[in-house]
Amino acid sequence: MKTRLTLLIVTIVIISRISLFAGEGMWIPMLLQQMNEKEMQEMGMKITAEDIYSINKSSLKDAILLFGRGCTSEIISKDGLLLTNHHCGFGNIQKHSTLEHDYLTDGFWAMNRNEELPNPGLTATLLVEMREVTDSILFGVEKDMSMVQRKGIIKANIKRVTSNFEKGSKYKATIKPFFKGNQYYMMITEVFKDIRLVGAPPSNIGKFGGDTDNWMWPRHTGDFSLFRIYVDKDGNPAEYSEDNVPYQPKYYFPISLEGVEENDFTFVFGYPARTNEYLPSYAIEMITEVGNPNKIELRETRLDIFKKYSNRDPEVRIKYATKDARAANYWKKMIGESGGIKRMDGIARKKEYEDKFTKWAVDSGNDNYVNIMPEFSRLYEELTPIKVAAEYMKEGGMSIEIVKFASKYYKLVQLSKNDPKNTEAINKEIDKLKAQNKIFFKDFYEPIDEEVMTALLKLYDENLTSEYKPDFFNIIHDKYKNDYKAYTDYVFAKSIFDKKEKLNSILDNYKAKNYKKIEKDPAFIMAMEMGILYRDKLGGQMAQLNNSIDSLQRIYMKAQMEMSPNDRFYPDANFTLRVAYGNVAGYSPKDAVYYKHFTTLEGIMEKEDPDIYDYVVTDKLRELYDTKDYGRYADKDGTLHVGFAASNHTTGGNSGSPVLNANGELVGVNFDRCWEGTMSDLMYDPEVCRNISIDIRYFLFIVDKYAGVGYLLDEMELVKSE
């Protein structure tokens, strides 16, 4: 028999605890028929929930895959052609790039399948089925258990259920919590391992606007890349082999040439990563008013140094392209997130809701709920300084490249000290480290890391009290008299972790006793002292507090549902397949300013600046613009639309997600949110929260007219009403 709470979650009707509007929500696809189908069809959808998610027939879900470990992709052809964002494929494009073949700058296009490039380690994961398994996972859990006991039982139950399933299946199984651990679902998946690069536009198209335009609207970015799934001759996932063949999917998306109009119904189907819509005000305050400002300063410091050196040297720019993009992406997001919460007075609104909640708890005699808010206050007050220290360690100390790199040698040192005769394990670790050395030195530039170390250590030292600093700061204070540059010079002079040949020589001739040299290395010492501080102080305290917070949050989630039984509640994002739906819409970010819902190629030409890398326009694109050679990809207004905005609720992980029209046809590829709406991970504001997508016709235009690989379109199903 289902638990009372499970039935409650499945049958209650919502959008938010506070207000009702279309746009907010990341919905479980297997529950659309019960919870969302009617509303979606009233908004304009012409297909059914069964068309979106079905285990009895092919459906839209069969064309959507988790790309790598952090993005979404969709199948757009009968031969397994996979479409995602340029920034999702960026790391793999960068790995194939050299000065001689700079695919980041120039783009890459396979002119036939023999030219498609393999990407070892890249996977694409397809959801086969979702199953609700709450009763099995909570079996044996008692109300009065500690969080540690509860987690132990749940972990054992998850292992038992997944193992029992996988024994008789070719598929993998993953179980994740929903509604803060009040409900559990099992995701049954198929993992493809031979994913080949087919095409990518030059960065001046795929990353047009760069960090300047990141998270911004209006946007003019052709943010896409193309890959292909290969399988063995029996159609099963397999590692790369020349004998593998293109995957024949159960379903692939038809592509609409119609474009979108304002107020059109759209929905996004993908893998949103993390949201926290149900946090108390104390958590929002810690994140947006303490944590974000610290991390923004630390990342901005690194980014400024990256930029200075990259502007001087094209080779350095290639080396640091991925590192820069990763640091900049979340840096700008945090700025917008904190600003958005402040603009919508989010903390005060949360407090108002919490006052209402506490009054309900008192009035209804729910003694277990009356003290939830005071307890949250106490826990977050204790957590904040520890969380800040941990974030400085991650964003300050472990963002120094040789320090993070040195930490990878910890296992080798421990094996050599504690089990020196275990040559098999030691040699296995050495082989792994040799591979990591190759990756590290390919994209390492010492002058950048030296300057980063000096700058970050200074910020680390100035902003934390002594109890939260590793011991090496005592050397900086006592021996080097707070001269961070002098300490940096010492580390780089003495360390082996910035010296490729010397490090490789040690590994080539390694004996167990050599661990002493590694153990005395100043970069290794820095990494170990931070690790010891985290292990002995920060990690344990954080784990204890987070366990208490998680337990309280689970109770708070359940209580909110009991307080508002006629509301629909959607679970926070957790990298499981979800549907978000809304309307194509512009927005007004501030007084007297209104952004319309689409951008055009003309806007690219308006932004063009040959002296700024982010705004360089290629000669071929300008030629196509000048001649207005848009072909069938032009809008009915005669312009070539580049992107559009809509009110679909998205977050990280939705990058690359298909944006679909009322008929379930592909009209865009989601790649961003507007800057003013990035607080939607914490609170959704229907006035300004917008997802940003490339217009699918711009993608087709680049593939066909710009790149000259129109043969790829022969695999696709392009549709347009007569």
The count of other CB atoms within 10 Å of the CB of residue 189 is: 17
Out of 86, 87, 220, 597, the active site residue is 87
- The tokens of 31 are what? 């529950």
Rounded distance between C-alpha atoms, residue 162 and residue 150, angstroms:
18
Give the containing element (helix H, strand E) for 412: helix 410-418
Q: State which amino acid sits at residue 446.
A: E
Axis crossing angle, helix 292-312 with helix 446-463, rounded to the nearest 10: 160
Q: Which residue has the tokens 């809008």?
A: 635
CA distances for 441 relative to 305, 405, 504, 513, 670, angstroms: 19, 10, 11, 25, 34
- CB-based contact 327:345 (threshold 8 Å): no
Is 87 a catalytic site residue?
yes
Question: What is the distance between the terminal CA atoms of the chain, rounded to a whole angstrom?
Answer: 52
CA distances for 689 relative to 336, 339, 390, 565, 647, angstroms: 11, 13, 31, 26, 6
Three-state secondary structure call for residue 606? helix
Q: How far is CA 252 from the centre of its chain?
A: 24
- The tokens of 348 are what? 């005060």
- Length of the chain (residues): 722
- CB-based contact 259:584 (threshold 8 Å): no
- Give backbone dihedrals phi and psi of 446, rounded to 5 degrees, phi first: -60, -45
Three-state secondary structure call for residue 552? helix
Of 445, 413, 437, 417, residue with least CA distance to 521: 413
Three-state secondary structure call for residue 328? helix
Please enumerate in sequence order all residues whose Cβ is within 8 A of that of 683, keeping only pairs 6 or more positions apart, or say none.
277, 284, 340, 341, 344, 346, 349, 350
Give the helix, strand, coil percentages of the chain, each rounded to 5.
50, 15, 35
Three-state secondary structure call for residue 68? coil
Rounded distance between C-alpha atoms, residue 714 and residue 81, angstroms:
11
Three-state secondary structure call for residue 588? strand
Is 655 a catalytic site residue?
yes
Please enumerate in sequence order all residues whose Cβ is within 8 A of that of 671, keeping only pairs 6 or more positions apart, or say none.
85, 87, 221, 223, 224, 655, 656, 692, 693, 694
Of 647, 702, 639, residue with least CA distance to 202: 702
Is 597 a catalytic site residue?
no
- Beta strands (DSSP E) in 572-680 are 578-583, 587-590, 593-595, 598-600, 641-646, 658-660, 666-673
Please enumerate in sequence order all residues whose Cβ is within 8 A of that of 630, keeping only pairs 6 or more positions apart, or say none.
601, 624, 639, 640, 701, 705
Of 293, 275, 295, residue with least CA distance to 285: 293
The count of other CB atoms within 10 Å of the CB of residue 124 is: 26
3-class DSSP string for 502-527: HHHHHHHCCCHHHHHHHHCCHHHHHH
What residues act catalytically? 87, 223, 655
